[in-house]
Chains A and B, each alone.
Chain A
């Protein structure tokens, strides 16, 4: 004869199953909300940084840079490159190399001076 053993296990399994399904719905909703916020944030950031007034005011002073990397034995190099410039860094085991490749304009590189003239 056949004895049905799975009854109790089955009941708890069913409730676990339901719980997981409910959670899946919650997670889907949470993820959709995040997607939406990320999209909004990206847009806001783009509008913010592309605003002509903000563009003019979006700068750091040389002294800010020096203070941010304030170790006296540090050399600070600034790179300004057009959008979509590619930067490649070698594997440390193969030496310390950086290459920059732009397709849309000149790349500017300069050193942040250490003196207090405030001029880059």
Chain B
């Protein structure tokens, strides 16, 4: 048994290390959640489009659709936008005279309901069923956890997964 001061020092070190790990785990959990959302949203989108193409018996006109990936910039209609473009269209510069928002395509998919409401933890039993069917088994515990609501604490899923 070491001297008390040594143990105290070491306990403190371990405590600091523990906090650091918990912080990292938290970050990685939200990263994983975002990836799960993206997977579900993308699969849902593809499924929806496949179905509606089958129903319509043809793909939609090319000028009525936007393929992923894309970015949305939205602003008030009153905003004056000054835009300069290089000749080769490799460079753009926009000046707005008022506030604007930038959203990625995943945000659009979420707004379209493609993430089954998981992004806000509002998920009906049917939504959850769909969401679970769209991810591999190993990720199901996370989906179930996300369906319950936004996660604030670090949680560790019980048992290690087989696949």
Contacts and interface: CB of A to CB of B under 8 A. Distances in A.
B66 A102 contact: no
A64 B64 contact: no
Nearest to A27: B21
A119 B60 CA distance: 10
Interface in A41-93: 41-42, 44-45, 48-49, 54-62, 64-65, 67-69, 73-81, 87, 89, 92
Interface residues of B, number: 79
Nearest to A44: B39
A71 B73 CA distance: 14
A41 B112 contact: no
Contacts of B67: 55, 58-59, 80
A106 B75 CA distance: 24
B18 interface: yes
A104 to B, nearest CB: 9
Interface string B98-116: 1110100100110110000
Contact of A49 (B3, B68, B78): B68
A26 B100 CA distance: 45
Given A60-B112, A65-B108, A68-B112, A48 B63 contact: no
B88 interface: yes
Interface in A77-120: 77-81, 87, 89, 92, 95-103, 105-109, 118-120
Interface string B33-46: 00110110011011
A95 B80 CA distance: 13
A55 B42 CA distance: 10
Given A10-B1, A102-B90, A119 B99 contact: no
Given A75-B76, A76-B74, A102-B91, 19 more contacts: A16-B11, A37-B138, A58-B49, A59-B49, A60-B45, A60-B66, A60-B109, A62-B64, A65-B66, A68-B112, A74-B76, A78-B72, A80-B71, A87-B102, A96-B98, A96-B100, A98-B73, A102-B90, A103-B90
27 contacts: A10-B1, A17-B14, A20-B11, A24-B14, A27-B22, A44-B39, A45-B35, A54-B46, A57-B49, A58-B46, A58-B68, A59-B66, A60-B105, A60-B108, A61-B65, A64-B112, A74-B75, A76-B73, A97-B93, A97-B96, A98-B73, A98-B92, A100-B92, A101-B90, A107-B89, A108-B89, A120-B65
